């Protein structure tokens, strides 16, 4: 985005000359001939840098500098004066000026100073952003609801142990964020955190990915490869979508968990590792076990500690915090820093089938298409507007003979299953209940 330069000087010819020079350099420009006008522009237009004259009527440059720093402490301000002294230069720098140039000045020198200050400001912004992103990703799970506070408390209690952890929850609820939080708050935090998506690779490739292989173990194995378990030694391995692993691979993983040893594919050397295992799935594990799709003994090995992450629709009080978190993450790039009350109301009423990941995508998209500093309803995706009405908005017509509540519930479940193409998770989302609640109610009505 093109930097925006604000020029604050009571001399109109100086403003004209500086504005012309800044435009030639490709900058956007704003001009104020009074200090109060300049402060209003700082508030409303959020300039990238300010060129500020020291001597002005009504409000001098020193007072403007003080007030500007209260509005935006990180705003670069270059002071200009025809009355430069060492004392005023020191005072201006103490207040927060980033540079100080005495009139008459060399225009090329001023241009160089501006470029240096803009570059420094950009670097500071990027460092601050990266630091906040790392902090939020590794140390914070955003939320103020009781369920999230309880999960954070559980993570704090179990992070220091070596026990295996199974994290469950729908797609997009933040299972990897929870896994990283466990690792970063553990004694293993300075050792590797190695994630593996078990659904992304076929069985043979997954075995090689987890345990490594020797040269010549299979076609294309031209050299020895270390597996993820070796790479995670002394640290943590995160096995995402664990329920998608084949039964054969489950047996091999069980051996590693029991004996802490394995062999590379095509190798004979037995290797020992010290690894904490965290697994995650969006499937109902009891159902997978009943259907013979997941080993019960492996489940108990993984499920020493169980953390369940609720869907976003069950923790709607966290939506404003999460939206603000993602706005801070993406908005700085496009200078968007607010969400209107109307837009926030729509976000809070939406049912979020894609959970936190969907909310993140919506905020990122909105900051990109927003043309000013505030996200409003028109910047949100159409799905937010066409979301199903809340139960308080549903109108039911009662026939004279009355209704059977049981039959009505059964009919709603059947329609939800029909609309979702038989997908139980989506049907539960349409009905605003959990998948386990849908299964219970369906079995009660002999639907399945």
Same domain, 305 and 242: yes
Distance CA 288, CA 244 (A): 10
Query: Is 201 part of a structural domain of the chain?
Result: yes
Mean pLDDT of 240-247: 94
6 CB contacts (<8 Å, ≥6 apart)? 29, 30, 31, 32, 38, 41, 42, 45, 47, 49, 50, 51
**Boundary-marking domain end, from 289, 310, 331:** 310
224 lies in some domain:
yes
* Mean pLDDT of the region 401-427: 81
* Together in a domain, 216 and 282: yes
For residue 109, pLDDT beyond 90:
no
pLDDT tens sequence across 250-291 = 999 999 999 889 999 999 899 999 999 999 999 999 999 999
Q: What percent of the chain has pLDDT over 70?
A: 91
pLDDT in the model for residue 57: 85
CA atoms within 13 A on the CB side of 200: 7
Residue where one domain finishes, among candidates 88, 113, 134: 134
* Residues 277 and 338 placed together within one structural domain of the fold: no
Residues 374 and 250 placed together within one structural domain of the fold: no
The reply to whether 394 falls in a domain is no
- CB within 8 A of 303, min separation 6: which ones? 164, 166, 285
Residues 48, 113, single domain; the answer is: yes
- The predicted pLDDT at position 252 comes to 93
Any idea what the Cα angle at residue 284 is, between residues 281 and 287, rounded to 5°? 135
83 pLDDT band, cuts 50/70/90, is: low
pLDDT of residue 279: 97
Rounded mean pLDDT, 65-93 = 82
Q: What are 179-236's pLDDT values in tens digits?
A: 999 999 999 999 999 999 999 888 888 999 999 999 888 888 888 889 999 999 999 9
Tell me: pLDDT of 390 over 50: no
Same domain for 179 and 302, yes or no, is yes
Q: Are residues 273 and 359 in the same domain?
A: no
Instruction: Kindly tell me if the per-residue pLDDT of 136 is higher than 60.
Output: no
CATH code: domain of residue 320: 1.10.8.60
Q: Evaluate if residue 1 carries a pLDDT over 80.
A: no
Which residues fall within 8 angstroms of residue 191, CB to CB, at 6 or more apart? 232, 233, 234, 235, 236
**441 vs 389, which has greater pLDDT?**
441
pLDDT of 81 > 90? The answer is no
Pick from 385, 376, 383, 377: which is nearest to 336 by CA? 376
For residue 419, give the CATH number of its domain. 1.10.10.60
Residues 160 and 240 in one domain: yes
- Ranges 97-106, 271-280, 355-364, 401-410: which has the least confidence: 401-410
Residue 139 belongs to a domain: no
Q: Is pLDDT above 70 for 410?
A: yes
pLDDT reported for residue 135 = 44
pLDDT of 312 > 90? The answer is yes
Q: What is the pLDDT of residue 389?
A: 47
The CATH number of the domain where 95 resides is what? Answer: 3.40.50.2300
In the predicted model, is pLDDT for residue 133 greater than 60?
no
Mean pLDDT across 318-330: 91
Lowest-pLDDT range of 123-132, 286-295, 329-338: 123-132
Q: Which of 156-165, 298-307, 418-427 is the least confident region?
A: 418-427
Q: What is the mean pLDDT of residues 116-134?
A: 67
The enclosing domain of 232 has a CATH number of 3.40.50.300
Clarify whether residues 279 and 215 are in a common domain: yes
3-state secondary structure of 266: coil
Q: What is the DSSP letter of 309?
A: P
Residue pair 203/246 in contact (Cβ under 8 Å)? The answer is yes
Residue 440: inside a domain, yes or no? yes
Is residue 395's pLDDT more than 60? no
Give domain status of residue 140, yes or no: no
Which residues form the domain of 403? 399-444
Higher pLDDT, 214 or 140: 214
Predicted pLDDT at 20: 92
pLDDT of 319 higher than 70: yes
Q: Chain-wide mean pLDDT for the chain? A: 86
* Whether residue 123 sits in one domain with residue 10: yes
Domain membership flag for residue 51: yes
When divided into structural domains, the chain yields a total of: 4
**What tokens were used for 92?**
């201006």
Residues in the chain: 448
Least confident of 96-100, 294-298, 303-307, 386-390: 386-390
Question: Does 195 share its domain with 304?
Answer: yes
Q: What is the band of 140 on the pLDDT scale with cuts at 50, 70, 90?
A: low
| pLDDT at residue 440 is higher than 80 | no
Domain co-membership, 181 together with 62: no
8 A C-beta contact, residue 189 and residue 198: no
């Amino acid at each position: 985005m093109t930097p925006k330069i604000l020029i604050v000087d009571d001399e109109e010819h100086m403003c004209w000359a500086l504005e012309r020079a800044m435009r030639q350099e490709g900058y956007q420009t704003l001009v104020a001939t009074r200090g109060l006008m300049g402060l209003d522009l700082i508030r409303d237009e959020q300039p990238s840098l300010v060129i500020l004259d020291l001597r002005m009527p009504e409000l001098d440059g020193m007072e403007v500098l003080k007030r500007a720093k209260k509005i935006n402490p990180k705003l670069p301000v270059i002071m200009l004066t025809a009355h430069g002294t060492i004392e005023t230069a020191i005072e201006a720098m103490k207040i927060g000026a980033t540079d100080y140039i005495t009139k008459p000045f060399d225009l090329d020198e001023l241009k160089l100073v501006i470029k240096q200050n803009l570059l420094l400001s950009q670097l500071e912004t990027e460092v601050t952003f990266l630091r906040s992103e790392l902090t939020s990703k590794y140390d914070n799970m955003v939320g103020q609801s009781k369920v999230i506070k309880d999960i954070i408390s559980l993570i704090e209690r179990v992070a220091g142990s070596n026990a295996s952890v199974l994290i469950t929850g729908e797609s997009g609820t933040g299972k990897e964020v929870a896994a990283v939080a466990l690792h970063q708050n553990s004694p293993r935090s300075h050792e590797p955190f190695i994630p593996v998506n078990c659904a992304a690779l076929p069985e043979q490739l997954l075995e090689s990915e987890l345990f490594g292989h020797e040269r010549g173990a299979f076609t294309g194995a031209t050299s020895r490869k270390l597996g993820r378990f070796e790479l995670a030694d002394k640290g943590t391995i995160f096995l995402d979508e664990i329920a998608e692993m084949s039964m054969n691979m489950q047996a091999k993983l069980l051996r590693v968990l029991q004996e802490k040893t394995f062999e590379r594919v095509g190798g004979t050397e037995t290797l020992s590792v010290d690894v904490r295992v965290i697994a995650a799935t969006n499937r109902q594990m009891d159902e997978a076990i009943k259907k013979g799709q997941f080993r019960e003994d492996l489940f108990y090995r993984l499920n020493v500690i169980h953390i369940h992450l609720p869907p976003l629709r069950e923790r709607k009080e966290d939506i404003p915090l999460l939206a603000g978190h993602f706005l801070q993450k993406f908005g700085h790039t496009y200078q968007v820093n607010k969400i209107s009350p109307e837009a926030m109301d729509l976000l809070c009423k939406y049912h979020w089938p894609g959970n936190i990941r969907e909310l993140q995508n919506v905020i990122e998209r909105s900051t990109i298409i927003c043309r000013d500093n505030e996200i409003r309803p028109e910047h949100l995706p159409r799905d937010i507007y066409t979301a199903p009405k809340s139960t308080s908005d549903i109108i039911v017509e009662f026939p004279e003979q009355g209704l059977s509540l049981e039959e009505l519930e059964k009919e709603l479940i059947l329609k939800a299953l029909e609309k979702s193409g038989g997908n139980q998770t989506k049907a539960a989302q349409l009905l605003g209940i959990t998948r386990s609640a849908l299964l219970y109610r369906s079995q009660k009505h002999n639907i399945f």
